[in-house]
Amino acid sequence: MSQALKLDDDEQDLKYVGTRPVRPDGVDKVTGRAKFGADLHLPGMLTGQVLRSPHPHARIVSIDTSKAEALAGVKAVITRDDFQDMESEFVPAGEMMVNYRDVVRNVMAREKVLYEGHAVAAVAATSNSIARKALRLIDVEYEVLPHVIDAVAAMAPDAPLLHDDMMTEGVDPKPDTPSNVSKRVEFALGDVEKGFAEADVIVEREFNTKPVHQGYIEPHACVASMSEDGQADLWCSTQGHYVVRTHCARLLNLDVSKIRVTASEIGGGFGGKTVVYLEPLALALSQKTGHPVKMVMSRDDVFRATGPTSGANVWVKMGATKDGRITAAEAVLKYQAGAFQGSPVQPGCMCAFAPYDLENVKTVGYDVVTNRPKVAAYRAPGGPISEYATESVVDELAKMLGIDPVDFRLRNAAREGTHAAYGPKFGPIGLVETLEQAKAHEHYNTPLKPGQGRGIASGFWFNIGGETCVTLNINEDGSATLMAGTPDIGGSRASLALMTAERLGIEPEKVRPLIADTSSLGYNFLTGGSRATFSSGMAAVEAADEAIKEMCARAAKIWEIPEDAVVWEDGHAKPAGDNAGKFDPLSLADIADMAGKTGGPIGGAARINAKGAAPSFGTHMVDLEVDEETGRVTILRYTVLQDAGRAVHPSYVEGQYQGGAVQGIGWALNEEYIYGEDGRMQNPGFLDYRIPVASDVPMIDTVIVEVPNPRHPYGVRGVGETPIVPPMAAIANAMENATGIRFTELPMSPPKVLKAIEDRDGG
Residue closer to another protein by CB (options 36, 444) is 36
Measured distance CA(632)–CA(195) in Å, rounded: 40
The whole-angstrom distance between residue 224's C-alpha and the CA centroid of its chain comes to 25
**Residue selected from 265, 367, 467, 625 as contacting another protein according to rule CB under 8 A:** 265
In angstroms, the first-to-last Cα distance of the chain is 43
Q: Does 498 contact another protein by CB under 8 A? A: no
Burial bucket for residue 92 (CB in 10 Å: 0-12, 13-18, 19+) = middle
Q: Does 760 contact another protein by CB under 8 A? A: no
Rounded to a whole number of angstroms, the minimum distance from the CB of residue 654 to another protein is 8
Q: Does 103 contact another protein by CB under 8 A? A: no
Q: Identify the helix (H) or strand (E) that includes residue 50.
A: strand 46-52
**Residue selected from 73, 178, 268, 505 as contacting another protein according to rule CB under 8 A:** 268
Return the bridge partners of 706, or none. Answer: 6
Structural contact between residues 119 and 108, judged by C-beta atoms closer than 8 angstroms: yes
Please give the DSSP secondary-structure letter assigned to residue 686: T
Structural contact between residues 727 and 714, judged by C-beta atoms closer than 8 angstroms: no
Rounded to a whole number of angstroms, the minimum distance from the CB of residue 657 to another protein is 8
**Residue selected from 603, 655, 679, 713 as contacting another protein according to rule CB under 8 A:** 655
Rounded to a whole number of angstroms, the minimum distance from the CB of residue 750 to another protein is 17
Q: Alpha-carbon torsion 684, 685, 690, 691, what sign?
A: positive
Q: Does 651 contact another protein by CB under 8 A? A: yes
Residue closer to another protein by CB (options 33, 582) is 33
**3-state DSSP call for residue 266?**
coil
Query: One-letter amino acid identity for 559?
Result: W
Q: Does 42 contact another protein by CB under 8 A? A: no
Q: Does 72 contact another protein by CB under 8 A? A: no
Q: Does 61 contact another protein by CB under 8 A? A: no
**Residue selected from 500, 535, 663, 722 as contacting another protein according to rule CB under 8 A:** 663
**Residue selected from 417, 676, 686, 740 as contacting another protein according to rule CB under 8 A:** 686
Q: Does 25 contact another protein by CB under 8 A? A: yes
Return the closest-CA partner of residue 457 out of 722, 118, 103: 722
Rounded to a whole number of angstroms, the minimum distance from the CB of residue 20 to another protein is 7
Distances (CA, A) of 324 to 273, 420, 430, 440: 43, 19, 21, 20
Residue closer to another protein by CB (options 40, 543) is 40
Q: Does 233 contact another protein by CB under 8 A? A: no
Distances (CA, A) of 133 to 126, 305, 552, 697: 12, 21, 66, 43
| Contacting range for another protein; rule: CB under 8 A; set: 36-44, 156-164, 169-177, 353-361 | 36-44
Structural contact between residues 760 and 740, judged by C-beta atoms closer than 8 angstroms: yes
Q: Compute φ and ψ for 762, nearest 5 degrees.
A: 75, 15
**Residue selected from 9, 13, 32, 174 as contacting another protein according to rule CB under 8 A:** 32
Q: Alpha-carbon torsion 212, 216, 217, 219, what sign?
A: negative
Interface mask toward another protein for 274-303; x: CB under 8 A: ----------------------x-xx----
Q: H helices within 473-563, ranges in order?
A: 492-504, 537-559
Q: Does 203 contact another protein by CB under 8 A? A: no
Tell me which residues in 122-151 interact with another protein (CB under 8 A).
Answer: 127-129
**Residue selected from 115, 207, 216, 617 as contacting another protein according to rule CB under 8 A:** 216
Rounded to a whole number of angstroms, the minimum distance from the CB of residue 91 to another protein is 26
Whether the bond into 747 is cis, omega within 30 of 0? yes
Structural contact between residues 416 and 427, judged by C-beta atoms closer than 8 angstroms: yes
**Residue selected from 83, 277, 525, 652 as contacting another protein according to rule CB under 8 A:** 652
**Residue selected from 48, 56, 94, 215 as contacting another protein according to rule CB under 8 A:** 215
Return the closest-CA partner of residue 612 out of 709, 722, 539, 533: 709
**Residue selected from 102, 218, 387, 671 as contacting another protein according to rule CB under 8 A:** 218
Query: One-letter amino acid identity for 190?
Result: G
Residue closer to another protein by CB (options 547, 731) is 731
Rounded to a whole number of angstroms, the minimum distance from the CB of residue 696 to another protein is 8
Q: Compute φ and ψ for 467, nearest 5 degrees.
A: -65, 130
**Residue selected from 83, 196, 242, 270 as contacting another protein according to rule CB under 8 A:** 270
Interface mask toward another protein for 688-727; x: CB under 8 A: ---xxxxxxx-xx---------------------------
Measured distance CA(664)–CA(725) in Å, rounded: 7
Measured distance CA(172)–CA(163) in Å, rounded: 21
Residue closer to another protein by CB (options 211, 655) is 655
Q: Would you tell me which residues interact with another protein (CB under 8 A)?
A: 20, 22-23, 25-27, 29-36, 38-39, 41, 127-129, 214-219, 265-270, 296, 298-299, 489-491, 649, 651-652, 654-656, 658-663, 685-687, 691-697, 699-700
